[in-house]
């Protein structure tokens, strides 16, 4: 009996399964699009059929077969199931997701259907390299295929793989395609020539070439060409005409073309459009998600999708995306013109911050992406100043919460509209300044009346102020990477700071808001140079802290740079990019960092280059051209430097190499040659001698030292090399800390091991612990104990000298400076600090350490100035590189020693903390520079020519010898006039202050300072000539002659002026 029951059940199940298979296969062949059969293997199709059979009852396919896609009544799904299939491939893994389509009850109302699939994909080894999304013609089923590449070996396409493409291309070149008379026909192109296509095929994967319709392939080849070698995005939109007519593989069923065309027409095919995109260097999954998200925000369904990745040698890769989009019934989508605005937004997606998309697509769909971007840019711009006035009320989270409120958002959108109108280059009647201010005041009046929360009101008013302070914006640049603004810098200060006469307002400021980042560039003179750094907090809490202090960091570093740059023609500047990588992997962090550098610097170029495009797209309220000079700082890599210079060249910037220093092949790489560390070492050497310590002595004990910054870092790693070169066994490094951890040994860390780490670019946590003494230890930051040890090493470890050569600004500050007094009886752990890192010790902490413990501190703006001096010396003479570098290093050491010795003379003349003396020296030189520059600008042509002849020899002496010998005759022809005037003024100022001291300058009336300095230069030239005459005189004993010349040069110029 049981056997009969079993056989009966098996028979019944078999019959039912057979019915299911028959229904599924019949439906499958009728409803899956032709491209599905072209782009999937027989093995994959069988797997899909089995999965579909498991998902649905036979009755579903009967209902689906009778379903009309334009019906309002969806098909009821027997089983609402989503299946995920995984299969191994030769080069990685393939994941297939099969789910009910949009016509099935329960799925039509689901938002972001494909987005949900993308977000739910299981983790996979390798990178997403191909996506195929197929919706059945009746829209009852979706099959999504995702291919991941596990290794770097590419399965390169061959001409045999693309025979159908080459055949079609030949027909296009001859005008013999079946669609030659159509408006969609491709025109002949050199890109379609056989050799050109074969070269391109070598960049493509086999599957891409084999499965691509030939017309699609050639169209995407054109898009590829538009973005290859760039970071751009190209978009092409065309009407859907059913299956494309040409070169269909034999595997396709004979009647597929007519069947798909008919199905397309019956299901609204006349409303479907192909959206083709080529996107340089994007994350494929993220790019696809963004595109689908935007299309769905416009009520469109991604009926079909193809994604492939094509190599772009030397530049990365290009993601080729093609989406069949079905828009809602709306007349604006009936023609290509209606797609122009959407196409522009698709181009911007790569660079848009996720928060912009959230605000515009989810929270306030009425707002639009452009307005949302302006709103968030203005809010982020004013955030640091508002936060200082009330940290609790103006947290970034609170700001986002206010902007999520529709009432506040509508007011913010009104600000964005005013901003856009003010800078619209196509406006029939440009808005006058008076009308703009009146409109801004009217908005503020509305806020006061309509917004009850005072802090929200203050936010909106501050955003209006930022709009009013904008002098240029790249809002209307068609290919911009981020939204940038040139601002009146006063808007970035608090009301209290603006009222403080001691708070210097910067000369200029830029703010850039982009994908996952915000950036400030601050400068204190028109012509200024300073580093570009990237800050990447590890947690959301740290990110919030850095967002609040970002402008202050840029301001303080630029101000320190202004003091540091006293020896060169450029004033001080700093750029700080704050990047949100709190939820990314290490590889993702690097990817985002490279993108942020590109977006930030390209936005600066938008606002500074003078081209036909910028003249027509950027409304200029500043009224003058600006030149910016950047240099590499934290987390900026050589690839960034090369890209920035190349981009400046492509964008038409005059003298693009000057835009970014430390170029690997034409500049002097700071890390390779240790230029900053060479100067730090000189200050260290002079300071040690002042303290009676001589590491070169064979009889004394080794000088002990601790450093922050790892052996893989620029300043710290090169300090290790220089210490070994100059001091050898005379120095003992007893502590070193970096981001990886710290190593401590009171008997000295093995110097050869430190050199090994520096040469291998390895952090301190890689120190070989077998080389430690019994008292030594290595702490790794992978543990809480290691983090605490690393964070306190600079306070705890006892040494003769501490060299901060890395670390965050303000590490030793007014709240924790007492921790540094950890020696016996409250003595400082190191009585001498030489600041290789910027702002490691805050001004308040410096003064406290000097007042309470007598700590001698060589200030950052003095000690590490040689890096920026080197940047101003950069040359492009590759054949003379070795000699130029040697001469540059000699000049840097001389510049450092000249100031270090002056600082101790000034301290003895007027006892004070060395940082105060350093600031006095810097301000004295900068005051003279400004005064002389103003006098040169005011001079009539004849006077200017005379002053130039007088000062040019000083500029020649300032340059490294070999560089001057090779290029000085071109100085006046090649250097911009404004820069040359600054250079002449700076050289005279440095010469005067280093020779005569700070008191000499301080004694001069400010209004006469420029004239006095020029008179000094004339007298100094006369004295030099007299000294040369004396040197050539006969009959004077050499010793007396030498002494007389020394006295003459030491005080002759000042004495002849009668100024004491």
Whether the per-residue pLDDT at 107 is higher than 60: the answer is no
Domain locations in the chain as residue ranges: 2-149, 163-274+309-351, 358-664, 671-874, 924-1060
Alpha-helical regions (H) of 390-472: 396-404, 406-422, 433-450, 454-469
* Dihedral pair phi/psi, residue 52, rounded to 5°: -65, -40
| Parallel, antiparallel or unpaired: strands 470-473 and 483-487 | antiparallel
The predicted structure's pLDDT at residue 812? 96
The mean pLDDT value for 923-930 works out to 95
Report pLDDT digits (tens) over 355-381: 999 999 999 999 999 999 999 999 999
Overall residue count recorded for the chain in this entry: 1060
Report pLDDT digits (tens) over 972-1016: 888 888 889 999 999 999 999 999 999 999 989 999 999 999 999
Cβ-based burial of 154 (10 A; exposed 0-12, middle 13-18, buried ≥19)? middle
Q: Specify the DSSP element, H or E, that contains 279.
A: strand 273-280
Rounded Cα distance, 984 and 1017, in Å = 11
CATH of domain 671-874: 3.40.50.720
Of residues 396 and 87, more confidence is placed in 396
The predicted structure's pLDDT at residue 262? 55
Distance of CA 550 to the CA centre of its chain: 15
Rounded Cα distance, 471 and 618, in Å = 10
Of the pLDDT bands very low, low, confident and very high (cuts 50, 70, 90), residue 80 is: low
Whether the per-residue pLDDT at 108 is higher than 80: the answer is no
Q: Would you state the structure tokens that stand for residue 976, as one six-digit string?
A: 């911009």
* Dihedral pair phi/psi, residue 873, rounded to 5°: -95, 0
The mean pLDDT value for 169-175 works out to 91
The mean pLDDT value for 243-253 works out to 41
**Alpha-carbon dihedral of residues 613, 509, 521, 611, nearest 10 degrees?**
10
The predicted structure's pLDDT at residue 676? 94
The mean pLDDT value for 198-203 works out to 96
Whether the per-residue pLDDT at 248 is higher than 50: the answer is no
The predicted structure's pLDDT at residue 661? 84
Select, from the ranges 171-180, 242-251, 419-428, the one with the highest average predicted confidence (pLDDT). Answer: 419-428
Rounded Cα distance, 890 and 886, in Å = 6
Q: Are 486 and 510 a contacting pair, CB within 8 Å?
A: yes
The predicted structure's pLDDT at residue 880? 66
Task: For the chain, give the mean pLDDT.
Answer: 88
DSSP 363: I
Out of 229-238, 681-690, 1014-1023, which region has the weakest mean confidence (pLDDT)? 1014-1023
CA dihedral sign, ordered 649, 654, 659, 662: positive
Select, from the ranges 283-287, 303-307, 694-698, 753-757, the one with the highest average predicted confidence (pLDDT). Answer: 753-757
Of the pLDDT bands very low, low, confident and very high (cuts 50, 70, 90), residue 66 is: low
Two domains, one topology: 358-664 and 671-874: yes
Report pLDDT digits (tens) over 947-963: 999 999 999 999 888 88
The mean pLDDT value for 817-837 works out to 95
Whether the per-residue pLDDT at 811 is higher than 70: the answer is yes
Share of the chain above pLDDT 90, in %: 65
Residue with tokens 């605005």: 341
CATH of domain 358-664: 3.40.50.10860
Q: Are 997 and 906 a contacting pair, CB within 8 Å?
A: yes
The predicted structure's pLDDT at residue 106? 54
> What is the side-by-side strand order in the sheet with 316-326?
83-89, 92-100, 141-149, 127-135, 301-312, 316-326, 273-280, 233-239
Whether the per-residue pLDDT at 875 is higher than 70: the answer is no
Of the pLDDT bands very low, low, confident and very high (cuts 50, 70, 90), residue 81 is: confident
Rounded Cα distance, 705 and 697, in Å = 16
Report pLDDT digits (tens) over 268-326: 445 789 999 999 999 999 999 999 999 999 989 888 999 999 999 989 999 999 999 98
What Å distances lie between residue 420 and 468, 473, 582, 727, 761, CA to CA?
A: 12, 10, 32, 62, 48
Rounded Cα distance, 102 and 302, in Å = 10
Report pLDDT digits (tens) over 618-644: 999 999 999 899 988 889 998 999 999
Q: Would you state the structure tokens that stand for residue 513, as one six-digit string?
A: 């808001």
Select, from the ranges 23-32, 141-150, 464-473, the one with the highest average predicted confidence (pLDDT). Answer: 464-473
Q: Are 103 and 67 a contacting pair, CB within 8 Å?
A: yes
Whether the per-residue pLDDT at 613 is higher than 90: the answer is yes
Cβ-based burial of 1015 (10 A; exposed 0-12, middle 13-18, buried ≥19)? middle
The predicted structure's pLDDT at residue 936? 94
Of the pLDDT bands very low, low, confident and very high (cuts 50, 70, 90), residue 79 is: low
Residues 6+ apart with CB under 8 A from 903: 858, 862, 914, 917, 918, 921
Share of the chain above pLDDT 70, in %: 90
The mean pLDDT value for 879-884 works out to 76
């Amino acid at each position: 009996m049981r056997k009969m029951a079993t056989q009966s059940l098996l028979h019944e199940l078999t019959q039912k399964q057979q019915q299911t298979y028959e229904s599924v296969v019949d439906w499958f062949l009728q409803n899956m699009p032709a491209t599905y059969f072209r782009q999937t293997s027989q093995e994959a199709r069988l797997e899909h059929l089995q999965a579909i059979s498991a998902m649905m009852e036979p009755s579903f396919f009967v209902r689906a077969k009778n379903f009309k896609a334009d019906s309002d009544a969806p098909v009821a799904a027997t089983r609402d199931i989503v299946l995920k299939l995984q299969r191994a491939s030769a080069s990685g893994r393939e994941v297939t997701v099969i789910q009910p389509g949009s016509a099935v009850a329960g799925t039509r109302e689901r938002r972001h259907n494909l987005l949900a699939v993308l977000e739910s994909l299981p983790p996979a080894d390798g990178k997403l390299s191909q996506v195929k999304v197929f919706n059945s013609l009746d829209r009852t089923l979706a099959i999504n295929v995702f291919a991941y590449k596990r290794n770097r070996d590419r399965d390169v396409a061959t001409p045999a793989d693309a025979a159908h493409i080459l055949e079609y291309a030949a027909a296009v070149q001859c005008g013999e395609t079946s669609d030659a008379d159509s408006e969609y026909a491709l025109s002949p192109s050199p890109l379609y020539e056989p050799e050109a296509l074969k070269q391109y095929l070598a960049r493509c994967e086999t599957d891409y070439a084999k499965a691509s319709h030939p017309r699609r392939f050639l169209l995407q080849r054109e898009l590829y060409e538009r973005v290859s070698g760039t970071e751009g995005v190209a978009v092409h939109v065309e009407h859907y005409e059913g299956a494309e007519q040409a070169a269909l593989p034999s595997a396709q069923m004979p009647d597929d073309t007519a069947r798909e065309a008919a199905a397309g027409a019956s299901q609204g095919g006349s409303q479907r459009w192909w959206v083709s995109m080529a996107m340089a260097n994007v994350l494929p999954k993220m790019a696809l998600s963004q595109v689908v998200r935007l299309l769905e925000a416009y009520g469109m369904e991604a009926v079909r999708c193809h994604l492939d990745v094509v190599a772009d040698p030397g530049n990365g890769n290009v993601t080729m995306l093609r989406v069949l989009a079905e828009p809602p019934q709306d007349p604006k989508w009936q023609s290509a013109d209606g797609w122009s605005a959407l196409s522009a937004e698709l181009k911007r997606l790569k660079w848009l911050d996720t928060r912009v998309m959230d605000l515009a697509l989810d929270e306030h769909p009425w707002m639009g992406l452009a307005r949302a971007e302006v709103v968030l840019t203005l809010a982020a711009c004013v955030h640091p100043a508002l936060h200082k006035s009330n940290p609790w009320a103006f947290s970034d989270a609170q700001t986002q919460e206010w902007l999520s409120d529709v009432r506040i958002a509508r007011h913010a959108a009104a600000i964005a509209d005013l901003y856009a109108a003010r800078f619209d280059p196509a406006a029939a009647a440009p808005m006058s300044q008076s009308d703009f201010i009146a409109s801004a005041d009217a908005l503020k009046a509305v806020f006061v009346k309509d917004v009850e929360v005072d802090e929200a009101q203050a936010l909106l008013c501050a955003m209006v102020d930022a709009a009013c302070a904008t002098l240029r914006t790249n809002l209307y640049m068609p290919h911009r990477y981020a939204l940038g603004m040139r601002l009146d810098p006063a808007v970035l200060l608090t009301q209290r700071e603006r009222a403080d006469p001691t708070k210097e307002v910067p000369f200029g400021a830029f703010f850039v808001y982009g994908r996952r980042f915000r950036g400030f560039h601050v400068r204190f003179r028109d012509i200024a140079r300073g580093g570009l750094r990237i800050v990447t907090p590890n947690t959301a809490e740290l990110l919030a802290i850095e967002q609040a202090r970002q402008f202050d960091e840029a301001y303080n570093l630029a101000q320190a740079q202004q003091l540091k740059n006293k020896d060169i023609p450029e004033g001080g500047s700093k750029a700080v990019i704050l990047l949100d990588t709190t939820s990314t992997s290490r590889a993702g962090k690097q990817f985002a960092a490279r993108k942020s550098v590109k977006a930030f610097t390209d936005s600066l170029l938008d606002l500074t280059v003078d081209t036909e495009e910028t003249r027509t797209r950027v409304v200029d309220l500043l009224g003058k051209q600006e030149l910016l000079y950047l240099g590499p700082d934290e987390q900026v890599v050589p690839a960034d430097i090369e890209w920035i210079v190349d981009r400046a060249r492509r964008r038409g910037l005059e003298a693009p190499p000057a835009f970014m220093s430390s170029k690997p092949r034409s500049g002097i790489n700071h890390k390779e040659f240790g230029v900053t560390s060479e100067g730090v070492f000189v200050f260290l050497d002079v300071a040690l001698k002042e303290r009676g310590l001589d590491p070169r002595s064979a009889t004394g004990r080794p000088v002990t030292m601790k450093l922050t910054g790892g052996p893989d870092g620029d300043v710290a790693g090169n300090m290790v090399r220089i210490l070994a070169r100059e001091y050898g066994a005379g120095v003992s490094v007893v502590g070193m800390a970096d981001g990886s951890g710290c190593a401590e040994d009171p008997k000295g860390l093995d110097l050869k091991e430190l050199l090994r780490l520096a040469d291998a670019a390895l952090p301190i946590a890689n120190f070989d612990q077998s080389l430690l003494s019994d008292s030594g230890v290595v702490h790794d930051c992978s543990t809480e104990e290691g983090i605490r040890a690393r964070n306190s090493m600079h306070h705890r470890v006892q040494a003769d000298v501490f060299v901060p050569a890395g670390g965050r600004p303000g590490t030793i500050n007014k709240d924790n400076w007492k921790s540094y007094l950890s020696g016996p009886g409250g003595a400082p752990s190191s009585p001498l600090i030489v600041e290789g890192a910027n702002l490691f010790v805050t001004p308040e902490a410096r003064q406290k350490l000097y007042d309470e413990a007598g700590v001698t501190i060589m200030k950052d703006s003095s000690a590490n100035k040689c890096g920026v001096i080197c940047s101003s010396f950069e040359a492009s003479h590759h054949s003379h590189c070795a000699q130029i570098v040697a001469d540059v290093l000699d000049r840097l050491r001389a510049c450092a020693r000249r100031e270090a010795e002056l600082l101790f003379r000034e301290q003895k003349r007027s006892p004070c903390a060395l940082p105060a003396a350093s600031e006095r020296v810097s301000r004295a030189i900068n005051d003279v520079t400004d005064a002389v520059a103003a006098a040169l600008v005011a001079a009539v042509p004849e006077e200017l020519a005379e002053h130039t002849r007088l000062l040019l020899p000083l500029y020649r002496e300032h340059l490294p010898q070999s560089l001057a010998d090779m290029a000085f005759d071109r100085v006046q022809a090649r250097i911009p006039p404004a820069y040359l005037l600054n250079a002449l003024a700076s050289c005279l100022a440095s010469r005067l202050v280093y020779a005569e001291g700070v008191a000499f300058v301080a004694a001069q009336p400010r209004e006469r300072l420029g004239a006095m300095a020029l008179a000094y230069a004339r007298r100094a030239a006369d004295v030099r000539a007299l000294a040369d005459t004396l040197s050539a005189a006969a009959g004077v004993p050499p010793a007396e002659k030498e002494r007389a010349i020394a006295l003459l040069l030491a005080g002759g110029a000042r004495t002849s002026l009668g100024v004491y």
